[in-house]
Amino acid sequence: MKQKLLYTKNRIVTFSKDSIDFIFHNKEINGKTFNEFKNEVKQGFTETIDLIDKKLDKIKPNYKESISNFYNKSKNDAIEKISDLKKEIFNKKDE
């Protein structure tokens, strides 16, 4: 049961991230970007996202906060690893 919940949570996070990237950051899905679609298709997509959002919020109130925390932790981890890598590279240059 716990694995199923973790799988579902990961799918929600992935779906949310992909949807945001698709709408706001020109991510391609099946070779298309959001801006390439007609306004009717864009409206349908955003309405579907809104419907999913409302259903998820009923099932798990504050689910967006959980996604935000996951994203911020991932971002901070990536920044830290990049910083460590830079230090390692600069230290090797000094040797």
Extended beta strands in the chain, E state: none
Residue 29: strand, helix, or coil:
strand
pTM of the model: 0.56
Given this model, what pLDDT does residue 79 score? 92
pLDDT at 94: 60
What are the extents of the domains in the chain? 2-67
Q: What is the mean pLDDT of each run of 10 residues along the chain (95 residues)?
A: 76 81 90 93 91 84 79 87 87 67
* Contact (Cβ atoms closer than 8 angstroms) between residue 22 and residue 35: no
Neighbours of 34 (CB within 10 A): 19
Instruction: Find the helix packing angle between 39-59 and 2-24, rounded to 10°.
Output: 150
Q: What are residue 29's DSSP bridge partners?
A: 32
